[in-house]
């Protein structure tokens, strides 16, 4: 399963836009009544849900948050203000 991740950012001072990132591979398995999955190569992005569709949504949300947190950490390490591109 390949998931796409998007990030919302300010295109200018008044307009929100979305930017597409790379594709990511999700590993998905069913374990009894539960669906479990994680994103290959992205530490901490793993989820467990009762249905396949809920798992996909949960993985996308968790991946989006992880990408944003990683981006903010990288900007902070460079000394750049957070929330500005």
Give domain status of residue 85, yes or no.
no
Task: Find the largest Cα–Cα distance for the chain.
Answer: 49
Say if 84 falls within a structural domain.
Answer: no
Q: Is residue 51 situated within a structural domain?
A: yes
Residuewise pLDDT in 10s, the chain (85 residues): 656 554 444 344 444 445 555 688 999 999 999 999 999 988 899 999 999 999 999 999 999 888 888 888 888 888 866 665 5
The structural domain count of the chain equals 1
Rounded Cα distance, 47 and 57, in Å = 10
At residue 83, the pLDDT reads 61
Which residue range forms the structural domain that includes residue 28? Answer: 2-78
Tell me the pTM.
0.69
Q: What is the CATH number of the domain that holds 36?
A: 3.30.160
CA 48 to chain centre: 15
């Amino acid at each position: 399963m390949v998931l796409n991740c998007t990030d919302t950012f300010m295109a200018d001072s008044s307009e929100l836009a979305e930017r597409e990132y790379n594709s990511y591979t999700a590993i998905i398995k069913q374990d009894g009544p539960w669906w479990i999955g994680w994103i290959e190569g992205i530490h901490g992005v793993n989820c467990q849900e009762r249905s396949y569709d809920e798992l996909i949504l949960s993985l996308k949300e968790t991946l989006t948050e992880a990408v944003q947190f990683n981006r903010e950490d990288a900007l902070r390490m460079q000394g750049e203000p957070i929330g500005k591109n």
